[in-house]
Amino acid sequence: MDLDYSPDELAFRETVRSWLQTNLPAHLRDKVTRYRALTRDDLMGWQRILAAQGWIAPAWPTEWGGTGWSIVQRHIFEEECGYAGAPPIVPFGLLMCGPVLLKFGTEAQKARFLPRIYRGDDLWCQGYSEPGSGSDLASLRTTAVRRDDRYVVNGQKIWTTLAHMADWIFCLVRTGSDSDRRQDGISFLLIDMKCPGITVRPLMLMDGGHEVNEVFFDDVEVPVENRVHEEGKGWTVAKYLLGHERMNTARVGTSMRELETLKEYAARQRKDGRPLSDDARFRDQIARVEIELLALSITNLRFLDAVRSGQARGAEASILKIKGTEIQQALTELMMQAAGPSMQALADDAGAADDITAALARRYCNYRKTTIYAGSNEIQRNIIAKQLLGLPS
């Protein structure tokens, strides 16, 4: 049992940290740490900076631009980016479509899409959920009918994050099969968002933000060469992708920064003439979250160590997702609570640029999503029950 990083790993952390100090633009860091909405230019701008440094796709094979870092180095990198207040990496291209193409794509598909994903030329989104198909993904009904060298796609996707900014969408569609298994007859298509017949309609969320959308497909023609893997075998691709979707869900670095922000913020609020952080009840609530985060950070490292030594049991990412999102939510809740009566304030992004108070309630509302998205925490429990405990479904 040795909880310390090796000298090499510590040196690596130092390298990443000082690089971030120099290269993370202050205006981006400020937007992130003050909870301002990020534009497409913000997101892709940061991706291009990382790409220029060669750090945008650490886990990819080196011939496609991967860094060759160990799993621990990758963890350190993610932790430092989160801690520094770097904009999040839009996962759909780099962490989802990219790995899928690397695993299942043809050489032509790889050559066509991977470099553009790497450089941040294209922003991708994910066409999975449909009205009526949330956690029960295999019940999806969007159809793709083969007509010569094209598929004709009809149907609707929902909760499509960043579809309003996206150049491309990867979709699960039903191409049909003779089997009774709902998982059969699903195919994985890459669709250009500029295709005629695609309509994107914003879904405004309770925090007033525009992140997600409905995407309608009305006789959208997709070339057959945009299908990844065999026709009808899309479920295999989807299952493979699930594992990737759930990496780095612990978000330890980001939560460590949020915890520090919370402590500083609570120290600035007054209660009975004293800092709120001196209030025993409030201080205990913060302490409990801090202890949870400490436990999660060590559990995260233990699991990385297990992956590294080939002893991972498979559902570790689900445990990290559950605990990580619970902590993220607890932090937003305590931040809002710390604001006291001012929590009601709702200012737009232009107002009160040096104050975060007006963003806290919105953020609290927004973060309820974390235990729902990327496989709800109940689905994660189902996965653990099945994979780790061998309980029958």
The residues binding other proteins (CB under 8 A) are: 1-6, 9, 72, 283-284, 286-288, 290-292, 294-296, 298-299, 301-302, 305-306, 309, 311, 319, 322-323, 378, 381-382, 384-385, 388-393
Please state the closest distance from residue 240 (CB atom) to other proteins, in A.
23
Cβ atoms of 209 and 39 closer than 8 Å: no
Torsion sign across C-alpha atoms 190, 163, 373, 259 = positive
Between 98 and 324, CB nearer to other proteins: 324
Please state the closest distance from residue 255 (CB atom) to other proteins, in A.
15
Residues annotated as catalytic (active site), given as ranges: 245
Between 196 and 390, CB nearer to other proteins: 390
Cβ atoms of 161 and 212 closer than 8 Å: yes
User: Pick from 52, 130, 54, 61: which is nearest to 98 by CA?
Assistant: 61
Please state the closest distance from residue 6 (CB atom) to other proteins, in A.
7
What are the structure tokens assigned to 5, written together? Answer: 């990083």
Instruction: Count the Cβ atoms, other than its own, within 10 Å of residue 51.
Output: 20
Give me the DSSP letters along 123-160: -EEEE--BTTBSS-GGG---EEEEETTEEEEEEEE-S-
Please state the closest distance from residue 296 (CB atom) to other proteins, in A.
8
Please state the closest distance from residue 294 (CB atom) to other proteins, in A.
6
Instruction: Count the Cβ atoms, other than its own, within 10 Å of residue 202.
Output: 13
Please state the closest distance from residue 340 (CB atom) to other proteins, in A.
20
Between 5 and 35, CB nearer to other proteins: 5
Q: Is residue 213 classed as helix, strand or coil in its secondary structure?
A: strand
Q: Is residue 44 classed as helix, strand or coil in its secondary structure?
A: helix
Phi-psi domain of 374 (left: phi exceeds 0; alpha: psi -120 through 50; beta: other): left
The Cα–Cα gap between 278 and 323 comes to 27
**CA torsion, ordered 220, 225, 230, 235, to nearest 10 deg:** -40
Please state the closest distance from residue 330 (CB atom) to other proteins, in A.
14
Instruction: Count the Cβ atoms, other than its own, within 10 Å of residue 108.
Output: 9
Which residues touch 106 (CB under 8 Å, ≥6 apart)? Answer: 225
Between 181 and 308, CB nearer to other proteins: 308
Per the document, the length of the chain is 393
Between 109 and 370, CB nearer to other proteins: 370
Between 284 and 355, CB nearer to other proteins: 284
The separation between CA 180 and the C-alpha centre of its own chain, rounded to angstroms, equals: 33
Between 166 and 252, CB nearer to other proteins: 252
Axis crossing angle, helix 252-268 with helix 71-84, rounded to the nearest 10: 30
Q: Is residue 163 classed as helix, strand or coil in its secondary structure?
A: coil
Residue 214 is classified by DSSP as E
The Cα–Cα gap between 255 and 82 comes to 8
Please state the closest distance from residue 377 (CB atom) to other proteins, in A.
9
Between 109 and 297, CB nearer to other proteins: 297
